[in-house]
Amino acid sequence: MIIDMPDTTTNAVNKRLVRLRDEGGAVALGRVLTLVVLCDERDVETAVEAANDASREHPCRVIVVAPAGADAEARLDAQIRVGGDAGASEVIVLRASGPLLVRTDTLVMPLLLPDAPIVVWWPREAPDAPSKDPVGAMATRRITDSKVAQDPVKMLRTLGGTYAPGDTDLAWARDTLWRALLAAAVEQPPYEPVTAVRVEGEAGHTSLDLLAAWLTARLRCPAKVVRVPGAEAITKVVLERKSGPIVLDRPDGRIVTISQPGKPDRRIALPIRSLSEALVEELRRLDPDEIYEEVLVKGLPQVESVA
């Protein structure tokens, strides 16, 4: 069910939510968190779809705030989605204009679930310091997505300089399965130290940078990112060792082939993770990610990037 509320207030929206709950519609008591999405109009439906998918594992109240345009007049148009139109969540879309966009925290506060953690997600462009954003300052976790920013690598390095506990990036979640495979490969005989790392893949895909930063931080060796025109996501990781390289090759974005000296090649399914899959993973933890902090703050500055 979708309920449109043009030219309204957040108090009126909250009262309508209470009425819906009393009538047997949305049940807020089962929500484990409040997910606040700060985005442009072009990303509203994509963000709602991903949040709906994520809500099946993490039932939540989703509050989407998007600018309604360049109108100087203060106006708020709201939309409430419940039931089949909201997955396992209840979705409130707020389209604001004028002075209402200056302090988005005042729009969000009346709609927050009591005693529930707050997670903020910027689906595209994010502030240079998410923890200093008015809404970000209220949040337990702050999720960015540097991969789709206008300048992905620049955004990632800016976030490294302003990191605060609770910050994370969906590019990091897209690396999880790669990290598991690489850790397993290194822990096989002959247990030689890795002397150099090369990560190849899509230009502007910041998962390459974070994976290389993780490897250089963990293996204490130089790491290089090679950006390949026309590639899709991460295509190859090479770990140089004295007896020969460990190579993980995924040219098609679906199957990775693991090659090691003296061993037969292995092929494992490793499809590119969807937006909702990455979001689901980041919502699984609400505490600071110390490994991500180490990678972003200490590992990333050591990575060499080759266009």
> In sequence order, what DSSP letters do the residues of 182-250 get, joined into one string?
HHHHHTSTT-PPP-EEEEEEETT-HHHHHHHHHHHHHH-S-EEEEEETT--SEEEEEEE-TT--EEEE-
Handedness of CA 272, 158, 125, 63 (dihedral sign): positive
- No. of helices (H) and no. of strands (E), the chain: 9, 15
Q: Residue 203: what pLDDT?
A: 92
Beta bridge partners of 228: 202
DSSP state of 299: I
Count of Cβ atoms closer than 10 Å to residue 232 Cβ: 15
Quick one: pLDDT at residue 24?
63
Taking the alpha carbons of 279, 285, 286, 291 in that order, is the dihedral positive or negative?
Answer: negative
pTM: predicted TM-score of the whole model, two decimal places: 0.93
Contact between 20 and 58 under an 8 Å Cβ cutoff? The reply is no
For residue 295, give the nearest of 99, 160, 162, 204 by alpha carbon. 160
Helix pair 206-219, 176-186: axis angle to 10 deg: 30
- List pLDDT tens digits, range 220-273: 999 999 999 999 999 999 999 999 999 999 999 999 999 999 899 999 999 999
Half-sphere exposure of 41 (CA within 13 A, CB side): 8
- The per-residue pLDDT for 44 is 96
> Distance between CA 173 and CA 178 in Å, rounded?
10
Residue stretches of the chain with pLDDT short of 70: 24-30, 70-72, 85-88, 307
- Tens of pLDDT, residues 280-307: 999 999 999 999 999 999 999 999 988 6
Burial of 115 (0-12, 13-18, 19+ CB in 10 A): exposed
Q: Which residues are within 8 A (CB) of 133 and not within 5 positions of it... i.e. 6 or more apart? A: 38, 120, 127, 142
Quickly list H helices, 257-301.
Answer: 275-282, 290-294
Helices 275-282, 44-55: crossing angle, 10 deg rounding: 60
